Amino acid sequence: MVRLLAIAGLPLALVLVSACSGSDDNGTSPSAAPAGTLKVITTVAPITSIAENIAGTKAQVTGLIPEGQDSHTFEPPPSAAKVLSDADLIVVNGLKLEEPTLEMAQANKKSGAVILEVGTETITPEQYKYDFSFPESGGKPNPHLWPNPQLTENYAKLVHKQMVKLDPTDASYYDANYAKLKTNLEKLDQQMKAVTQTVPEQNRKLVTYHDSWAYWAPLYGFTVIGAIQPADFAEPSASEVASLIDQIKEEKVPAIFGSEVFPSDILQQIADETGATYVDKLRDDDLPGAPGDELHSYIGLMVENMRIMIPALGGDASAINTVDTKLVFTDGPSPADYPQ
């Protein structure tokens, strides 16, 4: 079951959006989980989705960063301290993505609670990518491992291992969910290989606003030509834009991609000056569709990204439609509410 925190307007208010529950048969609010239920707190929506797939109806998963919010600059409200202090397992990406949340978790976690940094534990410092919006001089590696489904498989493995450790009674249930999720992630990887190979070789180049494809691109033979957003998440300078325009013209990049979370007029300007098509709908960490929709999952996020990206670069994304985007557990209703 999943609860998500909507932090809307009221700075101190934690609004627990009503959640599904297949297991609440005592008529209480779904937010009052049965005593002994494993409580898992997560940060960005892709990680929340991975955790909820494994947790199913046996653990309570609460996402902390509302979808559509900039996770790089997210500051948890003071009231999040209480939520973190109740958690048995706190799952963050790490790699310096959610530092204020991680600090709050370290300061408030109860004794015996586990903080799991799935990104930090998935790659070694030698594998860190420093690039356009994440220069080495800034000291923060590019944290976006999750567009790469092979790395996300490791996120799932780490989360599964901790859930089993903290709640051994439900181990076989978590094992079954994890096995199904792993199969679906492998299928996602396979079909991503298939659809990316339909893109003409000279078009396998990405220019995006937000710099979130660094670990995806090499896996599928793509090159990230540039990311437009500077390291401070402000707008790029005129000279940065001018040099990117030159590069896009030189490389004959057919399309440039904006994202839902970071709208910017600059992309339209770059598109006008280069003749590239501007596609503004790529998603970095906000899941497509509404809660309960089949696409509202990590896998749905990546499937939708392929449907947007591949045709814009001259390829055919139809093979991605065979990937199952649904949550893997079948013993309860799908989570009802995510804050949008």
Where does this chain bind Zn ion (CB under 5 A)? 212, 284
Nearer to Zn ion, 119 or 149 (CB): 119
Residues 6 or more apart in contact with residue 278 via CB below 8 angstroms: 255, 256, 258, 267, 268, 270, 271
Q: Would you give the DSSP letter of residue 127?
A: G
CB 152 → Zn ion: shortest distance, Å?
15
* Closer residue to Zn ion (CB): 43 or 184: 43
Residue with token string 């799991």? 116
Residue 321: alpha-carbon gap to chain centroid: 20
Residue facing Zn ion at closest CB distance? 284
Cα dihedral sign for 168, 174, 179, 184?
negative
- Provide the minimum distance between the beta carbon of 211 and Zn ion in the complex, in angstroms, as a whole number: 7
Q: Which is nearer to Zn ion, 43 or 60 (CB)?
A: 43
Question: Toward Zn ion, which CB reaches closer, 207 or 327?
Answer: 207
Shortest Å distance, C-beta 285 to Zn ion: 6
CB of 97 to Zn ion, least distance (A): 7
| Pairwise CA distance, residues 273 & 235, whole Å | 18
For Zn ion, the closer CB: 284 or 286: 284
Report in angstroms how near the CB of residue 119 gets to Zn ion at its nearest: 12
What is the closest distance, in whole angstroms, from the C-beta atom of residue 157 to Zn ion in the complex? 22
- Cα–Cα distances (Å) from 15 to 79, 99, 195, 199, 337, in that order, read 10, 23, 40, 44, 12
Nearer to Zn ion, 86 or 99 (CB): 99
- Work out the end-to-end distance of the chain between its first and last CA atoms, rounded to an integer number of angstroms: 18
Asked whether 182 and 153 are in contact (CB, 8 A), the reply is yes
